[in-house]
Amino acid sequence: MKQIVFLLVLCILTASGFAVFAQTDEMPPAPIINDEGGTVSITGEMVYTNTLFTAGVAQPLIILEDQAGFVRRDNSFLMPIASQTLGQITSDFYQSPVSYSIALPIQPQGTFSDVDNDGETDPGVQIYAVAYWSNTFGDPYLEERDLYGGGWSTAYASTRVSEDLDTLYEIIGGKLLIYAPDDEQGFPSNFGDDGLLFTEDDPVVRLPQGYTVVDLDTDPFTFDRSAEVIIDLIEPEGAALDDFSDMSYTEAFDAMIEKMRTEYAFTEYKGIDWDALADEYRPRFERAEREDDQDEYIRALQDFLWEIPDGHIALYPGAPVLGEDFQNAVLGGIGLVIRELDDGRVIVTNVIPNSSADDAGIEVRAEVLSINGTDITTWIDNTFVFDGPFSTDHVRRLSQLRYATRFPYGETVEVEFQNPDANPQTVELFAGDEVESFNSQSSVPFDAAFELPVEYSLLPSGYGYVSINSFSDNDLLSIQLWERMIQTLNSEATPGLIIDMRRNGGGSGFLADQMAAYFFNEELILGTSYSYDRALGEFVTDEDRPERFFLPPEELRYNGTIAVLVGPDCVSACEFFAYNMTLQNRAAVVGQYPTAGLGGGVQDFAMPDGQFVRFTVGRAVDANGEIHIEGIGIVPTVQVPVTEETLFYDGDVILDYAIDYLDENATELEPNVSRADGGNIQVFGKVDGEIGSGERIRYTLTANQDDTLTIMLNGIDGLDTYLRVYNVAGDLIDENDDIETGRDLSSRIEGLDVSAGDVLLIEVGTYADASSGEFMLQVEGER
């Protein structure tokens, strides 16, 4: 009887045209639509609404993404370079929607996957999604670091993947491109009873040879053999911008409260009472809506956000009314710049010439005792600032010091002070049109329009110095500059490096992590991030994918001693870099104050009247699961005191503390190069040779008479040479990189005086020992 039932079920399945191949002798053919012999080219669009999507992207790619890792559920699978067919982006990437096209290779080089469930070994098929990626490291193809640690999931692809924790990264819809080497290979015709793709219960159909596009959103799947196919990429739900802009003011406020109540990453950590905030601020939004008052709406929105003690919280672009409020409150200045010392005193660090304070005789180094009859400490405590909100008290305090001497224009201000070696006195000052004292207390001045994301040099002390100005600039350029610096440090055996992070406003946390990896020799686990899962209703993390280092090649790692300079303007991703450098005591952290204390990932959403709100949705923790940055910051391990001596120091006191640290701790390094003996060379002699990457060649010259030499090292076909001359003891006498920077990459040393019998070691190299090619070395004399 059981056999009859089985045969009946089999007949029904076979009649339906979608039999499970393991139970039949022959797969039914896939039902084909638009049969034009197979797909030849793909075009489509990618729409993105995420306001952070393009940040730092320099080399966006649309590629065929090999799905073998997903088929195997192998999170360590790395997409083979040979499989990466690159498309063309045919519109402005920085303006959504983005259009693209891909011409399919006649013989693709992807990974074959046997997915027909017949229990036998078959050639299988190649399975691709069309996907967006950003290339940062190495050549134009994606390597492990570009792939964010490997794996088989991606956002902005032709497939939709699950964002639910229990089925995370499972393909649940969209389109795949399939290549079959012959007409005997099978492919699923739907997800099967378990709802998962490429599992044992999938019914299977037979594909024609060549390319076929499979639509996973139909049941059964649709198999399209059009020559030209349109496939649009899908923005994941979790990445898309939440848009409340079409709501009324009150509706948008309610939506904002609900979103923050559920998704804000630090509600319990910061003790935020969302109900109390809703009760306090909703009436203001109701009034703004009732009176159609945009200014009141903007003010209410800004005031509400200032209630959340998180420096990542921001409203942009703002509105003119906020600028007017700011100017009305702080337009007037009395000409004083003040700082608070470690001993609690508040002193004057600058007096603006011809200001009210200058006219009253207040001097630099004067102690400020009170303002308007309130002792100075209390006055600062109660000073309102327009720079908030803040994650840490020390950043708030520094901002309050800046605003403590700002007043409405025309106001009279009573100041009690004590000049050095004098008695206390009280004067009345006038808040005039003076902004110099306010602007002079901002971050270290620089011109962002002309700076590079990474700028480095050699200090007179012999240590390397690099300023990382941003992790949100051009990612590709940042890595290229970073790796060139590392090569230079190694080739020159630079014993120590100072990394200046004092005015880095953050950006990509992943980029920050991987730039720090160049100083380590272990793939350390750095931590993870928790975000809200809407399906589960709680904050979760993917424990299989913690943040970690992906080590660069060994020759691109620097093992010298390091000092990292930090301050309150080191924010977010900058702080993750600084934290990473504290692991294994890899670097000293030098500064007067901790970093800003912004430890999480952010997301934006849209509000009415063209406003956007940024808030923290990712709760970053260390490898032990502890919050390590938010509300804390990275505390200096080499503490530079805030005293009169350091405030009036002639030079950069924090930099000099770092140099002192390196003087005490740096050790000599050997150049990361191999040296070859090139033999002898004579005055008026010439050598044609070839040099490899990481190699230097030394030629010995013995002077027959007193002479003045010119040594020329010409690179063939643009080889970027580097010429060094040593004495017989191995001491460097002279060196030259480029004859003319940016124009002539060959090298030349002129006017080198020698005496009869002197022995010189002439060393042929390339810049940062990074290039290879042919060269010509010549030595000329004057006699």
Specify the residue for token string 């809200």: 532
Token digits for 655? 């930099």
Query: For residue 86, which of 58, 108, 54 has the smallest C-alpha distance?
Result: 108
Token digits for 229? 């196919």
Task: Give the CA-trace dihedral at 57, 63, 69, 74, to 10 degrees.
Answer: 0
Helix (H), strand (E) at residue 6: helix 2-16
Token digits for 464? 């390397």
Is CATH 2.60.120.380 correct for 674-781?
Answer: yes
Task: Give the CA-trace dihedral at 765, 768, 774, 775, to 10 degrees.
Answer: -40
> Three-class SS string for 212-281?
EEEECCCCCCEEECCCEEECCEECCCCCCCEECCCCCHHHHHHHHHHHHHHHCCCHHHHCCCHHHHHHHH
Q: What is the tens place of the pLDDT at every residue in 664-711?
A: 999 877 777 788 999 999 999 999 999 998 899 999 999 999 999 999
Judged by DSSP in three states, 336 sits in strand
End-to-end CA distance of the chain: 112
Which ranges constitute the DSSP H helices of 571-701?
A: 573-580, 644-647, 653-665
Token digits for 425? 């006195």
- Rounded mean pLDDT of 378-387? 96
Q: How many residues does the chain have?
A: 783
% of the chain exceeding 70 in pLDDT: 95
Third-level CATH fold of 329-439: Pdz3 Domain (2.30.42)
Region of 706 (left: φ > 0; alpha: ψ -120 to 50; beta: rest) is: beta
Give rounded-to-5 percent helix, strand, coil for the chain: 25, 30, 45
Contacts of 626 (CB under 8 A, 6+ apart): none
Residue 535 pLDDT greater than 80, yes or no: no
Specify the residue for token string 């260390």: 622
Sheet containing strand 496-500, edge to edge, reads 454-458, 464-468, 496-500, 561-565, 587-591, 638-639
pTM above 0.75, yes or no: yes
Q: What is the tens place of the pLDDT at every residue in 46-91?
A: 999 999 999 989 999 999 999 999 999 988 888 899 999 999 999 9
In this prediction, residue 783 carries a pLDDT of: 72
Superfamily holding 454-665: 2-enoyl-CoA Hydratase; Chain A, domain 1 (3.90.226.10)
Q: What is the tens place of the pLDDT at every residue in 712-771?
A: 999 999 899 999 999 988 888 999 999 887 788 899 999 999 999 999 999 999 987 888
> Three-class SS string for 721-752?
EEEEEEECCCCEEEEECCCECCCECCEEEEEE
Residue 11 pLDDT greater than 50, yes or no: no
In this prediction, residue 743 carries a pLDDT of: 81
- Rounded mean pLDDT of 264-285? 98
Contacts of 380 (CB under 8 A, 6+ apart): 340, 346, 397, 400, 401, 404
Residue 267 pLDDT greater than 60, yes or no: yes
Give domain limits for the chain.
18-230, 329-439, 454-665, 674-781
274 CB neighbour count, 10 Å cutoff: 15
In this prediction, residue 223 carries a pLDDT of: 98
Strand pairing category for 464-468 and 496-500: parallel
Q: What is the tens place of the pLDDT at every residue in 93-150?
A: 999 999 999 999 999 999 999 999 888 888 999 999 999 999 999 888 988 888 874 3
Helices (H), strands (E): how many in the chain? Answer: 16, 45
DSSP per residue over 142-185, as a string?
Answer: --TTTTTS--S--SSBSEEE--SGGGTT-EEEEEEEEEESSTT-
Residue 174 pLDDT greater than 80, yes or no: yes
> Three-class SS string for 392-416?
CHHHHHHHHHHHCCEECCCCEEEEE
- Helix 573-580 to helix 509-516 angle, to the nearest 10 degrees? 20
Residue 35 pLDDT greater than 90, yes or no: yes
